[in-house]
């Protein structure tokens, strides 16, 4: 089948296919590592109210590190200012509180 016939058949079945030309990179965040797809070509396919994304590109895996990046800088600063603690103590408290700033503040207050 030629591409024109495929598009016509998809339209008859109510399937829309949309290219997303402004997307350059796709990041899939996993528990232990992130998957980064560079030079991405993304197509959104919509059928029966569901959106499906087809992603083509070069994939790299990046292991997650226990770095500051895991928490929002604003959350870290909030815990630091509210409890008058160092950045490292604030990050440690956020880790123990599963990233919840309010819980981290409560824990440091006790």
pLDDT in tens, 73-98: 899 999 999 999 999 999 999 999 98
| Across 25-31, average pLDDT | 92
The span from the CA of 71 to the CA of 68, in Å, is 6
Domains defined along the chain, listed by start: 3-63 (2.20.70.30), 68-109 (1.10.8)
What are the residues whose beta carbons fall under 8 Å from the beta carbon of 78, sequence distance 6 or more? 101, 105
* Model confidence, pTM: 0.52
Unique residue bearing structure tokens 């006790």 = 110
């Amino acid at each position: 089948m030629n591409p024109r016939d495929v598009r016509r058949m998809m339209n008859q079945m109510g399937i829309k296919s949309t290219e997303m030309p402004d997307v350059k990179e796709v990041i899939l965040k996993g528990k232990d590592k992130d998957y980064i797809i560079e030079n991405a070509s993304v197509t959104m396919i919509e059928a029966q109210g569901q959106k499906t994304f087809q992603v083509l590109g070069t994939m790299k895996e990046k292991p997650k590190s226990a770095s500051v990046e895991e928490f929002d800088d604003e959350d870290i600063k909030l815990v630091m200012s509210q409890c008058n603690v160092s950045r490292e103590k604030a990050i440690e408290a956020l880790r123990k509180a599963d990233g919840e700033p309010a819980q981290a503040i409560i824990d440091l207050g006790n």
